[in-house]
Amino acid sequence: MDAVGVCEAIAVRDDVHVISQQRGDPEPAVEEKKAALLQQLQANPGTFLQRWGSRLPAKALRYFEPMTDDYVVQFGLRKLQVDQRRRATTVRNRRYRRMQQLLQEGTFFSEEAMKERCPWLYDQFVGRYLSDAEVEQRVQTVTQCWSDQLLAHTVGQRTTERLHLEQQAALASWEEEEEEEEEEADADGGKGIPGLPSSASQPTRAVSTMAATTQSLEQQLLGDESEEARDQERAQLSNEERERLREEFSRMMQERFLRGEDEEFFDYSAVDDNPDLDDLAARARDEQDAYFDAD
């Protein structure tokens, strides 16, 4: 991150006041605040870090690391990095303790709730292997009365939207990997392995196989797989394997929660800033570890 990026990370925040204002004055534009911050940074990096460092993310602090000859910068940087490690550890522990409570309560990490948050991931690990009877049972469970049907319809619409977003994100990630592989192949000059035909003269069957594999994966990501293909997958899995996949899905959802990726469904500020979730003995050890890790 360069100097402009460092200043922008502060300027976009609503809780900082960069430019002096009179009561009733309109809030300065982001570009105006960014220009004022850039002027401060270029004039005196040490003073800038002392004033604004606590508002910067870890990746922005790395901008100051090469300034080894500036004692004020290095002293302030070390303190901020210790504080951030301590804060990150505290947040992680608080989220973990709250997650244990949620697991015991059973609602937030129920199968239906997790399905609503990550429908595509649920389908890949659990949904595609459910029998027709299991699917019917789940439908009956959530539609026993008219109010439940209305709620299920609303949740279903929201889940469908999230499913589409997850599919597109997964497809974009896959296409990016494909492009990287193609670029690596192009970097080899198309020469391939000595003694073997070049990629331009490889058998048509190999190209067809690759195209078929690509089409199959794209169909899976976009939800265009045939019902027959799903039935075959379902029949090949034992109950133990299905349970293992369900446990893996649950583990991935717990990791997602700890990373803070459920903000649409959960208020993390109520946990991250809640000292009641602290284990005081563990907190003392973590603070000590964070301090010595900075050495």
pTM: 0.62
Cα dihedral value 67, 73, 76, 82, nearest 10 = 0
Q: How sure is the predictor about 233, in pLDDT bands with cuts at 50, 70 and 90? A: low
d(CA 125, CA 134): 15
**pLDDT digit string, tens, across residues 110-132:** 999 999 899 888 988 988 887 77
What are the residue boundaries of the structural domains of the chain, listed by start? 1-64, 65-107+266-295, 109-182+218-264
Measuring CA to CA, which residue among 3, 77, 56, 58 is closest to residue 34? 3
Report residue 182 CA to chain centroid gap. 26
Which of 124-128, 245-249, 282-286 ranks highest by mean pLDDT? 245-249
pLDDT digits (tens, 9 = 90+) for 172-224: 666 677 677 666 666 655 544 444 444 444 444 433 433 443 444 445 544 55
Tell me the CB-side half-sphere exposure of residue 199, using CA atoms within 13 A.
Answer: 10
